[in-house]
Copies of this chain bind each other. A is one copy, B any other.
Amino acid sequence: MTKISSAPDLAARPRLRAASKRSLATSLSILDAAEILFAERGYDGASVRDIAAAAGAQIASVSFHHGSKEALFARVVERRAKELSRLRLEALAAAKARPGPLTLEAVLEAFLRPYLEKAGLHGSGAGDPQWLAYARLMAIVSADARWHAISERCFDPTAGLFIAEIARLFPKADTARIAVAFVFSVAAMLSLSTSRWRIHALSPTAPAAAGMDDLANGLVRFCEAGFRAALDG
């Protein structure tokens, strides 16, 4: 297994001038291919060679644009983290701006819906295949202690804000319990990316493509009820 250094060099080398159009295209297609392959096969399972081949690039271009494999992985994860956080925080702000008191359901929706929508798990449209891969990638990062540092940088700050928001809704609840329920909810959310095959294996009658909205609504209801039960006791 590759050793993970604690502070990877994120840039291959300092960029001295603006990159050309072609250079940018190469760099991007490498990121896209890496996103797909890391999501499909995991960090160790996806080779830089295969990533370069899938991107239609030379293997040396990968090092040139993104440095080490580890730095490439971090870049892939970081690339969409900001947008996802922005969508979640915007949804939270919108929920708070609505008249009437803020509800737990609204807070959970604000956190879960952007993920589900981007991953094509509900709403209209099939979903961007890159975002679909990214959704799986988040599950990989979340489940592996090796990527703790990346998770802390990319996801935990926003998660912390949502937990704080929920703590305001339940002033008497123990923060630790909120964090536990939050982790359960995230696990359930991510299972839609990693374990949809299991749902169909376990339920012969489960709708194949239809019922995506059902899945998404079911997730929110499941988590909200779970949260209330966890915080009431």
Chain B residues with CB under 8 Å of A102's CB are none
Chain B residues with CB under 8 Å of A7's CB are none
Chain A, interface residues (CB within 8 Å), range: 35 or more
Chain B residues with CB under 8 Å of A202's CB are 156, 159-160, 163, 179, 182-183
Q: Which B residue's beta carbon lies closest to that of A50?
A: B1
Which A residues between 36 and 84 are near B, CB-CB below 8 angstroms? 41-47, 50
- CA–CA, A204 and B160, complex, Å: 11
Chain B residues with CB under 8 Å of A2's CB are 45
The stretch of A14-22, A92-100, A122-130, A170-178 that contacts the partner chain: A170-178
- Quick check: A184 and B191 within 8 Å, CB to CB? yes
Residue A225 is within 8 A (CB to CB) of chain B in the complex: yes
Residue A221 is within 8 A (CB to CB) of chain B in the complex: yes
Copies of the protein in its oligomer: 2
As a 0/1 sequence over residues 205 to 233 of chain A, the CB contacts with chain B under 8 angstroms (1 = contact) are: 11100010011011101111111111001
- Quick check: B226 and A223 within 8 Å, CB to CB? yes
Q: Which B residue's beta carbon lies closest to that of A204?
A: B175
- CA–CA, A215 and B224, complex, Å: 18
Chain B residues with CB under 8 Å of A223's CB are 226
| A143 touches which of B139, B184, B219, B221 (Cβ 8 Å) | B139
Known: A176-B203, A184-B188, A188-B226. 8 other contacts (CB 8 A): A145-B197, A151-B198, A151-B201, A175-B204, A186-B195, A188-B188, A224-B229, A225-B225
| A183 touches which of B184, B191, B217, B221 (Cβ 8 Å) | B191
- Quick check: A218 and B230 within 8 Å, CB to CB? yes
A198-B142 in contact given A190-B187, A211-B176 (Cβ < 8 Å): yes
Which A residues between 1 and 39 are near B, CB-CB below 8 angstroms? 1-2
Residue A169 is within 8 A (CB to CB) of chain B in the complex: no
